[in-house]
Structure 1
């Protein structure tokens, strides 16, 4: 029986939850504050992480000017890969270790912010790559202590990386995405300037916007914290602790904003109200899932992105095949939420309504189909591929996709109902095509 929605305490469950709040400055023009914040944090020599496409952008120039005006020495690292790999994480860590920096600034999307987190970690506490990586793929060793200050400046409205202690990468040799999770990875400060999104191309806005949507929807429907086994010690309570009353606030508003603004933001770059609204939604959803955790759509996404063969998304670097993160998440979502709806139908219906679905007169039995159809309609409106098949997979890939998703136990166990490998195989089969 589900204890979703009203947080009834399950036998052996945890009655308490932890609120981790990121330090955030939000608003047009706030990138120009980077120098003053760096001084406040005692920084004198920083590594500025970005990628090759952003290195010459006005966003990076604003931050560099602010640092120079404050007298802070800045060295730019622009070799970050979009969708980072084990090799790109290690190269960034090498740069960070050799540069003798006292802090980090990241200007870019989730890939840039995550790379700066990893570089900070491995430069501060050197170890083999596998040491801090999530089990079962890595050793899941605890981060030994505090990291150096990190100011994160997101330029996409989606990943929420500036608000979380999560760093995701593609472990190429293993053909799967995985990550490192620790509260200590969370950036010291996020400078969130929505102006950075005004020039983003359509597909980037769509993919990042669907990441926002799924962060909020997954966190809102995650296993309640009261159903998670109580940790041996309070300090061991996981960062992804399950749905809780704090994360619910962010999820609700993020879903409402996404329902209001996503299509507009994708359709019209000049609609600054919509693009600003999606940046605020991304921030709220980032805070929410940083406390509650996501579940199956993200767990499945790491297999979808990690096993890509030749799919290339419009508006993304064409050099290498890649399924952008938010796209790899949302192609699974309609199948997943049809499956999870019976665990907490009220929450699925509420979320569908916030996203713009008609829910009057709906019953609990209708919840899965209503939320799935709303997601499908939004995907179609924003030119998202038609399911997992739309990014190059077929039925013969289901065993490898299942194995890749099953390895993401941190996420699988956060689903609102028990999941085994058979369930995952069925979900991938149901996600191959929606229309």
Structure 2
């Protein structure tokens, strides 16, 4: 840890940080513990959330069987939309209101976990949909109280949603992603079973793994917590900036991904690589759940929200979509070229964790070195060559900047001050890389 990175900025600024995390059980086969763990939390009637694809897999049957063997009443909701919208969140909430569960279980990727979080919230504390949505898009009203217990069982090694208090969705009226962020949304427990990733297509492993990578990088390079104004009692945000706790998870996640991600994408039978990639996802999720992410994620929400004709291999359906991890990583090299000036040593350290040779590299080259190594990884796992490869041109950069600008919760977590022209410049820098 760089001591100067956390040097106090003086009176009126933050001097402490908070560590929050779900209870995590990690390891092959732990999904079979679901029923006993749900019963221990007092659940009797469980809303089991999944999507159409996962609900056809053996892992879903394992979860359902474990719940029923524990004597629990199970009602299933398998209509979760991949890349959820405000409308799909509302539909899930209608199910939850009618089903009246006293606990929630989510078996799936981030879309499933986030949908269960939203259904739990709005069924527990009904309100106008935008009431809890992050400002300035919504009112950002705090969640009034505790939610029903929720056990999250991720089936992809990427989003980290199982250990964060965030639920992300597409707001259809704005053609942009936004979300709800509140500590109460954080799942009560997470069962992280690497067996769940054995059947994932390589493109899904690549996209979700690159989301993990950017979680770690963004948490590691976020504005330090000591550079935030001190909040009032109990008002410290979840995205509190880089801190010693988040650094621990970020560093190890980057090291693991630099070593195992390419293997996990290339060979579905490489169980060690898939397991280590999922462990990296858990570590990075805990890190960004306490530090927060910044500009690449803010830009990604516009990229995903304004997509016109692109649809990736390995994903269900045919409607246009840019998977979240892909949308994030397409912006990342351009962003880190700009942010490196704020702490060149930290950016060089990140590149080194990912596998770059930084010997003899001066601080003025930090951004280029990190960006080049990200591009190397992108190419190795089959990512598109920048925004142009998913249908955007330089003429779109203005509208993309407009779409990213409302993500102030993320942009204010960045180590650099920005405006729309800077965002537009960073989008332009991500049009193509090779």
Q: Into which bin does the TM-score normalised by the smaller protein fall?
A: over 0.9
Give 1:398 deviation, angstroms: 1.1
Alignment match, 2:330 = 331
Alpha-carbon distance in structure 1 between the residues aligned to 2:19 and 2:227:
17
Alpha-carbon distance in structure 2 between the residues aligned to 1:230 and 1:420:
24
Alpha-carbon distance in structure 1 between the residues aligned to 2:42 and 2:5:
45
Alignment pair present for 1:425 and 2:416: no
8 Å CA contact 1:4–1:223 kept in 2: the answer is: no
| 1:327-353 CA distance string (max 9 Å, x none) | 000000000000000101111000100
SS in structure 2 opposite 1:280?
helix
Alignment match, 1:56 = 56
Alpha-carbon distance in structure 2 between the residues aligned to 1:389 and 1:143:
40
Alpha-carbon distance in structure 1 between the residues aligned to 2:388 and 2:13:
39
| 1:75-116 CA distance string (max 9 Å, x none) | 110000000001000000010011110000000000000000
Give 1:5 deviation, angstroms: 5.4
Alignment pair present for 1:412 and 2:411: yes
Q: How many residues align?
A: 432
Alpha-carbon distance in structure 2 between the residues aligned to 1:4 and 1:141:
36
Alignment match, 2:318 = 319
8 Å CA contact 1:224–1:244 kept in 2: the answer is: yes
Alignment match, 1:165 = 165
Give 1:4 deviation, angstroms: 8.7
Q: CA RMSD in A?
A: 0.9
Give 1:318 deviation, angstroms: 2.9
SS in structure 2 opposite 1:90?
helix
Alpha-carbon distance in structure 1 between the residues aligned to 2:262 and 2:41:
39
Give 1:396 deviation, angstroms: 1.4
Alignment match, 2:272 = 273
User: What's the TM-score once normalised by structure 2's chain length?
Assistant: 0.98
Alpha-carbon distance in structure 2 between the residues aligned to 1:77 and 1:256:
37
Alignment match, 2:124 = 124
8 Å CA contact 2:85–2:172 kept in 1: the answer is: yes
Indicate how the Cα distance of structure 1 residues 208 and 112 shifts in structure 2: closer, same or farther if over 3 A, else same.
Answer: same
Alpha-carbon distance in structure 2 between the residues aligned to 1:169 and 1:373:
31
| 1:359-400 CA distance string (max 9 Å, x none) | 011111110000000000000111101111111111111111
8 Å CA contact 1:308–1:322 kept in 2: the answer is: yes
Alignment match, 1:218 = 218
SS in structure 2 opposite 1:236?
coil
Give 1:128 deviation, angstroms: 1.1
Once the two structures are superposed, the pairs formed by residues 14-413 of structure 1 within 5 Å of their partners are 14-233=14-233, 235-413=234-412
Indicate how the Cα distance of structure 1 residues 5 and 120 shifts in structure 2: closer, same or farther if over 3 A, else same.
Answer: farther
Alpha-carbon distance in structure 1 between the residues aligned to 2:21 and 2:205:
26
Following TM superposition, the consecutive aligned residue runs of length 4 or more in structure 1 with deviations greater than 6 angstroms are none
Give 1:10 deviation, angstroms: 1.2
SS in structure 2 opposite 1:204?
helix
8 Å CA contact 1:103–1:149 kept in 2: the answer is: yes
